[in-house]
Every structure is written in structure tokens, then in C-alpha cells.
Amino acid sequence: MQVGDKIYIAGHRGMVGSAMHRKLEKEGFHNIVVRTSAQLNLTNQAAVADFFEQEKPDYVFLAAAKVGGIHANNTYRAQFLYENLMIQNNVIHQSYLSGVKKLLFFGSSCIYPKLAPQPLTEESLLTGLLEPTNEPYAIAKISGIKMCEAYRDQYACNYVSVMPTNLYGYADNYHPEHSHVLPALIRKFHEAKVKGAQHVEIWGSGNPLREFLFVDDLADAAFLIMQNYHEKPFLNVGTGTDLSIRDLAILIQNIIGFEGELIFNPEKPDGTPRKLMDVSKIKSIGWEPKIDLETGIILAYQDFIKNLNTN
């Protein structure tokens, strides 16, 4: 990618797409094409074809997706499968037809089997059964990886995929039910503190282990991969360390300053017991995360407060 190249970010208003936008601007890229979902419905094949025909981007970051936490994944199962397949099928295929030089597809750590050996290496893909709560989303993301690989095999397209661990950061979704755990807990502890509540409910047992990456660190990794990595195997992106949901809750509680009790609700699903990424491959090409968890939560909390009226 050179500074004048035309770059399309699909999903530029989401957490990942907006981080990618910031990163590209910081690196001096100015020829960036974006469309809101109202301007371009990525599930519509004809509309996506017209867009590529008209804009002819050189590079594509495919960050558009229907995403959410464990409850949203489990509730909107049909939409998570259908919308994600349609978006990625349209963007990947039209990129091929319009001669895009390189495309980067964002996947997710939930593509791995529920009980795969930890830390999760890229080789674990398709070696076992998926976690049921997010199987539709995972199947869509696995299809995206396989599409990038197949278009490379058959048409020599330079398409690569990255598998980020659980993300958080600027422009996250703080919906009380549909968000991921980290933004959900920021919101719950903040509201409990403001209202002077006695306790905060944490879903599940608190025992599952999760790894969290600040989204700007992912954008750095994706930029590096776009510039310097041109091979077929997809790459994990994570910090290489995890913590229990209980410890995460205590950390957020302390940062926000909530003094009440934590109550664990076993009626809510735990999801996969652990999904820690093996990040040796991405580290070997020169990437390291820069934002530690505590700093990242403070930044995310500031962003939450700033956008309080829109969250």
C-alpha cells in the first residue's frame, strides 16, 4: 500500500473499522473510501457490485460484520449467519471481479473448536466441534477465511485473514444485553456507582478465561499484515495472556470505584471455558501489543463517559 492508493474500509463506523481508519490516517493515507450502511447495504449483491464498479479500490479492509456478545450471538443466530455470509461473500467476490490488489478479512477467535488445546494455534481450525452459543457466527467467519484461501488458490488473489481475540476500546457497543463482557461491565459498574446500587450482576460462573486486546493494537497488526505479510495462512492477534471473568470484573470494579458486591448468575451461559491465542506467528513478523489491560480499560471508560448520551 502506498500513500495515494485507494483504500476501502468496509464497516468504518464499527469499533474495528474506525480503529483502522484512525491508523491509516495516522500513517498518512488520505484516499480512503467509506460508505455508511444506509448508503450501501453490503448484503445486497447488486449494490456492492455497483459500488466496486464505480470506486475500484486498490485495497480493502473487510471489517463490516454483524457482531455482539454471547447473548446476541445465541439469540440472533439466523441473522449472525445470514448477514455475515452475505456481507463477506459480496465484498470478497466483488473485490476479485474489480481487481483489488489485496484484501484483509477480520475473523474472530471463536472460529476454534470449543475444547481445542490452549493456547490456540492457527492449526487448530476445524479440528473439533464449535462452542454452541456462537456456532452461526463462527461458521460465517470460517467461511470467510476459506473464501480468502480459495480465491488465493484459484485466482491468485492476495487475500489474508486475521483472527483477533476479544476486542474492546473506542467506539465499542455498550448495549446492556447485546454487548461483549468488557463494555457490558463498564456500563454496569458505572450505572451501579451512579445509582448507589448494592450489587452488580455478572453473567455465568465468573470462571471462563478470556483474553482482551485494545482495538488500536489490532489496527496496528492489520496495517503491518497488509504491508508486509502476503502468505496464505491466517494469523492470530492477541496479547497471549488471559484472566477469569471474575478477575476482569474486579479490575473494572476497582477502576470505576464501585464499592458494592458482585453477584454471579449461573442461569446465564459461560460460553467457551477458555480461548487464549497463540500469537507467536504475528509476533515473529514484528508486532507487539502496546496497550495493557488496565490502561485500555481506563481509555475505554473515558470513551464511554464521553459518549454517555449516545450509548
Q: Which of residues 52-91 bind ligand GFB (CB under 6 A)?
A: 69-71, 73
**Cβ atoms of residues 68 and 23 within 8 Å:** no
Does 110 help bind ligand GFB (rule: CB under 6 A)? yes
Residue from 210, 278, 287, 303 touching ligand GFB (CB under 6 A): that is: 210
Q: What single-letter amino acid sits at 162?
A: V
**Known catalytic residue: 174?**
no
Distance CA 162, CA 235 (A): 5
Nearest approach, Cβ of residue 70 and ligand GFB (Å): 4
Q: Which three cell numbers stand for residue 136?
A: 452461526
Does 296 help bind ligand GFB (rule: CB under 6 A)? no
Q: Which three cell numbers stand for residue 64?
A: 463490516
Going 59 to 62 to 142 to 184, the CA torsion angle's sign is: positive
Q: Which of residues 232-261 bind ligand GFB (CB under 6 A)?
A: 245
Residue from 77, 268, 281, 283 touching ligand GFB (CB under 6 A): that is: 268
**Cβ atoms of residues 208 and 274 within 8 Å:** yes
Does 114 help bind ligand GFB (rule: CB under 6 A)? no
Nearest approach, Cβ of residue 42 and ligand GFB (Å): 19
Which candidate, 64, 70, 77, places its Cα nearest to that of 105? 64
Q: Which is nearer to ligand GFB, 57 or 206 (CB)?
A: 206
Q: How does DSSP classify residue 133?
A: G
The site string for ligand GFB over 166-205 (x = CB under 6 A, - otherwise) reads x------------xxx--xx----------------xxx-
Does 282 help bind ligand GFB (rule: CB under 6 A)? no
Count, residues near ligand GFB per rule CB under 6 A: 25
Nearest approach, Cβ of residue 294 and ligand GFB (Å): 18
Q: What is residue 190's three-state secondary structure?
A: helix
**Rounded to 5°, angle at Cα 284 from 281 and 290:** 95
Residue nearest to ligand GFB (CB): 69
Pairing of strands 212-214, 166-168: parallel
Q: Which is nearer to ligand GFB, 35 or 210 (CB)?
A: 210
**Catalytic residue, candidates 137, 151, 159, 170:** 137
Q: What is residue 197's three-state secondary structure?
A: coil
Does 270 help bind ligand GFB (rule: CB under 6 A)? yes
**Cβ atoms of residues 265 and 202 within 8 Å:** yes
Q: Which of residues 131-170 bind ligand GFB (CB under 6 A)?
A: 133-134, 137, 166
Nearest approach, Cβ of residue 115 and ligand GFB (Å): 14
The residues assigned a catalytic role are 137
* Site of interaction with ligand GFB (CB under 6 A): 69-71, 73, 108, 110, 133-134, 137, 166, 179-181, 184-185, 202-204, 208, 210, 245, 268-271
